[in-house]
Each structure stands twice: as C-alpha cells, then as structure tokens.
Structure 1
Amino acid sequence: MSSIEPSDARAVPVVPPTRPARVAPGETLRSVALPGATLTVRSRPAARPGLPPALFVHGLGGSSQNWSQLMEALADDVDGEALDLPGFGYAPPPDDGDYSITAYARVVIRHLDASGRGPVHLFGNSMGGAVVTRVAAVRPDLVRTLTLVSPALPELRPQRSAVPTGLMAVPGLVSLFARMTRDWTPERRTREVLALCYGDPARVTPEGFALAVAEYERRLQLPYFWEVMGRSARGIVDAYTLGGQHSLWRQAERVLAPTLLVYGARDQLVSIRMARRASKAFRDSRLLTLLEAGHVAMMEDPDAVARAFRELLADTATTSERSAPPRG
C-alpha cells in the first residue's frame, strides 16, 4: 500500500449527479471530478458568511446522508460539506479499483487541495474515521480540528458482534452472502443494518425507516454494490495489518489537530474499550461517551455531538487567541 503524496491542485468541475438523488430540505448535491475518481458532495448553505469550513466522511456502507442531521445542527457554526466516497452513495467506483484506506485518504486530500477549502474541521465515522486520521497525520495543514465518531482503528480482540462485518473482507464471502440473502426484502436488510449500527433501533422514526429502505433498495440495484462492500472491508483489514509509520495507531500519535473522540457504549462494531486507547494516542484529545448510542452517534444523538463539537470549537478559538502574538 503506497503512502499518500500531496496532489496537484486543480479546478473543480461541477456536473449534475448521474442518477436522481435524495436531498434533505436545504441541501444541495453536486459531482466533483478528480484525477481517477468522482465524488458526490452534499452541502448545506452556511447560516452566515465567514463560517469556517467543515468536511464530513462516512463509514463502510454509508454515505453523505449519514451526516445530514449533524450538518443541520451545526449550520450556525460551520460551512459544511459531506462526501460520498468513490463507490458509495451516488459516487461511481474509483477508476483504479483501489478501495484501501490510503486510497480514500488520497481522494479526500485531492478534494481539499482542489477546492481550496482547507484547513477544515474534519469529521469521520467508522471507516471514515480511519481515513481522516490518515489525512490529519500526513497533511496537518489541511485540518483545523478532528472529530472521530467510532473510528475504525485496529483492535486486537474485536467484539464478537463485529466479526461478521470483518468476514466481508474474505474473498468470495460477500458474493456468497448476496446469494444466500437474495430473497431478503429491502425492509429486512434495513432492519438488520439498523440493529447492528444503532444502540436502540426503535429511535428511528417510521419516516426515517422508509427513507433507509428506499436507499437500500436503490443501492442493491447498482451492479458494483457487493464488490465495493467486500473490497472496502478488505481495505480496512489490510490497514489494520500495516506496521511502522503506516500503522493507524502510529499515525494517530502524529495528529496535531485538537481531536474530539465520540464513542457509543452500545456500539457493536467498535468496542467502547478502544476509547481509552484512542484518548492516549491522540495527543490533544477529549472524549464524549454516549451511553445509549451505538456505532453512528451523529445520527442517533446529533445534538449531543454538536454540543461537544461547539465546546471544542470554542476552546480552540480561545487557545488561538492566547497564542497569537501581541498587536502593536
């Protein structure tokens, strides 16, 4: 797996999405062409001019929609954009078929370089947490603060409930699962996902469940859906095996940006036990533990995550003012 190199900044061409897209009120969606990949960028207009930029990166099987509630909650604080990584949401697969954490990090860096929005307040969930950790480690100039929601950092002893997701990385198992579940309805598939990702799936409203079902049904019709899931899961496992300077834990130690860590006590995919190790690894970190949340706290309790981020934002601004050279 290659290291990440700074990319040449380019103009960002904006073209309409290739398929009808679902957007929440107040959101817009656009496609961004980068060298070797196309992203879909979901944005919400800032409440007022001059707000600092923020970028949100989803996890395995997710999309930019995972951040809609948090972006709305933070509309008075940041100018937010959320990505569909290549192969997810409304974005097509990458040209080179590389679904590694390093490749995704490279795409995020290229987007930030090309858009000129950096440094940003950078957010990541699950796989996206691993991606943005790598971005913050190798390009500190692009990151103001880092917020990680259940980041997929290596665990020596993963929870038993996380093992089936890890097995998706085994060649052939995703195709086997697709065949074994071909008679499952989108409703059943959605319930299985919500039961795995939410601390309490009952918190999902009927409207939210219907939207999730429609989105799952749309994705199942994509010819590359299962391949992207399997190869991206393999990319996570491969990242876990890297040692030396490319180790995700080693890179976490290199992160300079003030970091907010968010863990759910009911998370079935990333153990709450990892919160303590992460707090030690990220040199300037604070921890928010949500007792009722699972793997996607920004969807389960966006208000709590927003409050914690605002505290980070305020403290960071205060620290910057104290460290600024005197005027006059």
Structure 2
Amino acid sequence: MKRASLWPDHLLPEVGVPPPWPGREVRLDGVATYVRDTPATTAGAEPALYVHGLGGSSQNWTDLAGLLADRLDGQAIDLPGFGRSEPGPRYTIPAFANLVIRWIEHSGRGPVHLFGNSLGGAVSVQVAGLRPDLVRTLTLISPALPFLDFRRSLQGRMLPVLVIPRGERLVARHLTQLAPEVMAEQVLEACVADLSRICAQRRAEALEEIRVRYEAKHYAAAYVRTFRGLVSSFLRAYLPGAGSLWRLARAVRAPTLVVGGRQDRLVDVRVAPQTARLIPDSRLLMLDGVGHVAQLEVPRLVARAVVGLLAETEDAARPSDLAG
C-alpha cells in the first residue's frame, strides 16, 4: 500500500455541473438493465464501468464520469432493483458480481477500468478477484467490505428488520409515511459530510430519484434483501471458505485506488485502510471532512487521484528505453 498521487487540478477539464448522462434499457439474461453512457471526449479513451452503492443508482457517477471523459469512455449501470433497472431474482454480492461480469462480456468492452462505491465496491472486489482478465484498474470509494461493529454505521438501525418476516413491508410502510422531500434530505445527510458541497441541481435530482423509488413497488424488497445479502457476506468473510470478500481482496491483481471519507457514517472508516493493506498493488486516499460518497461530494479531488492512478499505470506499461 502507498499513498495516492494527485494529478494537478488545473489539468482536469472544466465541466461545470452536467445533467445526468443519457441512459438506455438493455435486456441482459431476460432482465431489463439500465445503463448510462458518458462518451469519451478524446480519441483513444479506454472503457470504464461505474457501479453504485446500496440505494444508489448510475446517477451517482455523473460528475466524476464527466471529469474523466477525456481519458475514459464511461458506462454506469443500475444494479437489479435499483435506479431504473428491473428487479432481479437474487440480491447477493455474488449475484451482482455475476451481472457485472455478464455486462462486461456482453458489451465486449473488457477489460475495463472498474469503479465501485459502497455496495458497488464490494461487488467490484469480487469481480476483480474472480475475473482479473476483465479489470484494467480498480477504484473503490468507501467500499462496503466486511466489518462487524455496526455501531459504526447508521445502517445498524436496519438490523432488526432483517430478522422480521417480510421486513420489507415495514420499510415500504415507512417510505409512504415520509414526504419525498424529507427522505431525500435524510439520504443526503447520511451520505454527505458537508451538504453545502451539493448544488441545487444535484439536490433536485436526488429528490427525483426518491420519487422514482416511491413509484417502484419492488424497491423496498430490493433494498432489504440487498442489505441482508451484504450483512451475510460480512459474516461469511470471517469464516473458513473461499467466499470471503477479504480473501478475494488479497487476490486482486489490478492496480487499485482506495478512497475513504473520514466522516463516513455508513461504512466503518477503518475499512478503506484495511482494504488498501490487503490488495497487493494499492494506493490509499483518506479525505478529511468527507462522507460516504466522495465522488459526489468532492468529485474533482477523486478525479485527480484517479488520473494519478491512470498516469502511473501508463508509465509502468510504457516500454523501457534500452537504447545505449
């Protein structure tokens, strides 16, 4: 593990506040999967794939993908049951990882620069650990890798729901009792350390995302079942067997950037450094005053670290000058 290098800020493009990137529905294994495209702005850009966190969507990557479009030809996927994708049959880390693998193979764009936030970080570790041939580099932002002290997460309040039969009904009922505006504000407060960094346009988009969730009858079940699958993966990580996310992290061979916010309220802040220690070729960036979604809160800073990683790997891949 080493410290992440930061690309000079003035060398990043000025993209303002772009609207959500255009999306399309793709049939993958019989399920409608929603994918947003952030086209490259230069020739020779390499493919990238962005995977969101629990309760998030492909819109979470709008700013970062725009800042990287001069280097990366981006796609962001809505996992089953989230965003605008149809519900899926299973909501586990292996099931989501298999869908990401299937999408990379289906799109014919691999290997990709793979990005994952929170749940998407756990999914991306599984993909990179099992299919190194599909991943050029790996960027993990507040990855939801295993930790057992749920007092360090606001999500700990959800644990009782997991043991209640049909707990998703309670969640659905709770959603109907809150105005979308209240829910949107609560989500932002949980994910972001400094709300002044979130502009009016992004707040309006967050509210619209909440309204979409309220209209999707499957959303509460998808959320609860995914949270149950995530907790199950945490418990398995500390038991013997090949399915441990920590063992998969050790198997990752792609050059990796791990970003953590020191004010993360959803994932134990010790997880990002532990992840970076286990992944062999890793760089760590810990951000003061930043929460769970650094790509939303401080996208330029995250982009500088990503470009630093890309520049480093490009230098390593360049043939040495052996001429004497």
| TM-score under structure 1 length normalisation | 0.87
Using the TM superposition, give the Cα deviation of residue 234 of structure 1 relative to its aligned residue in structure 2, in angstroms. 1.0
Deviations 1:292-316 (A, max 9, x none): 2100000001101100000100110
What is the aligned partner in structure 2 of residue 191 from structure 1? 185
Structure 1 match to 2:228: 234
User: After superposition, where does 1:56-71 map in structure 2 within 5 Å?
Assistant: 56-71=50-65
Letter in 2 for 1:290: L
Residues of 1 paired with 2:30 and 2:94: CA distance?
14
Match status 1:119 vs 2:111: yes
Deviation, 1:162, is 3.2
Of residues 310, 315, 328 in structure 1, which corresponds to 2:312? 315
CA distance in 1, matches of 2:160, 2:254: 33
Task: Spell out, residue by residue over 1:249-281, the C-alpha distance to the aligned partner (whole angstroms, 9 max, x if none).
Answer: 000000000110000010001122123211211
Q: Which amino acid aligns with 2:155?
A: A
Match of 1:145, SS state, is strand
Given that 1:137 and 1:255 are in contact with CA atoms closer than 8 Å, whether structure 2 keeps it comes out as yes
Give the percent of matched residue pairs that are identical in Structure 1 and Structure 2.
Answer: 46
Deviation digits for residues 13-33 of structure 1, max 9, x if unmatched?
Answer: xxxxxxxxxxx5483211121
| Greater mean deviation of Cα atoms: 145-154 or 195-204 | 195-204
Counterparts of 1:110-259 in structure 2 under 5 Å?
110-158=102-150, 159-171=152-164, 172-242=166-236, 243=239, 244-259=241-256
SS across alignment from 1:237: helix
- Partners of 1:181 and 1:87 lie apart in 2 by 16
CA distance in 2, matches of 1:130, 1:36: 25
- The answer to whether the Cα contact below 8 Å between 2:260 and 2:292 also exists between their aligned partners in 1 is yes
In the alignment, is the contact (CA less than 8 A) between 2:193 and 2:289 conserved in 1? Answer: yes
Which structure has more relative contact order (CA 8 Å, sep 6+)? It is 2
Match of 1:290 in 2: 287
CA deviation vs aligned residue, 1:133-158 (integer Å, no higher than 9, x gap): 00000100000000000001000223
Is 2:28 aligned against 1:38?
no
Aligned residue number for residue 5 of structure 2: none
Describe the SS at the equivalent of 1:47: coil
Question: Aligned partners of 1:125, 1:170: CA distance in 2, in Å?
Answer: 26
Further displaced range: 175-184 or 140-149: 175-184
How many equivalent pairs are there?
301
Larger displacement relative to structure 2 (63-72 or 239-248): 239-248
RMSD, aligned CA: 1.8
- Equivalent residue letter for 2:136: R
Task: Note the C-alpha offset of 1:166.
Answer: 4.4
After superposition, give the CA deviation of every residue in 1:221-246 in whole Å (9 maximum; x if it has no partner).
11111111111111111211224211
Residue identity matched to 2:262: A
Runs of 5+ consecutive residues of structure 2 not aligned to the other structure: 1-17
Task: State how far apart, in whole Å, the 2-side matches of 1:167 and 1:51 are.
Answer: 46
Deviations 1:185-243 (A, max 9, x none): 10111111111111122322233222211220121011111111111111111211224
Equivalent-residue separation in structure 2 for 1:317 and 1:53 (angstroms): 15
Q: Which runs of 5+ in 1 are unaligned?
A: 1-23
Q: Residue type matched to 2:170 in 1?
A: L
Q: 1:160 to 1:259 in 2, by over 3 A?
A: closer
Q: Which residue of 2 aligns with 1:109?
A: 101
Counterpart position of 1:90: 84
**TM-score for the superposition, normalised by structure 2:** 0.88
User: Residue 58 of structure 1 aligns to which amino acid in structure 2?
Assistant: H
Aligned partner letter, 2:87: P
Deviation at 1:170, TM superposition (A): 3.7
State the partner residue of 1:8. none
Q: 1:181 to 1:117 in 2, by over 3 A?
A: closer
CA contact (8 A) 1:168 1:229 kept: no
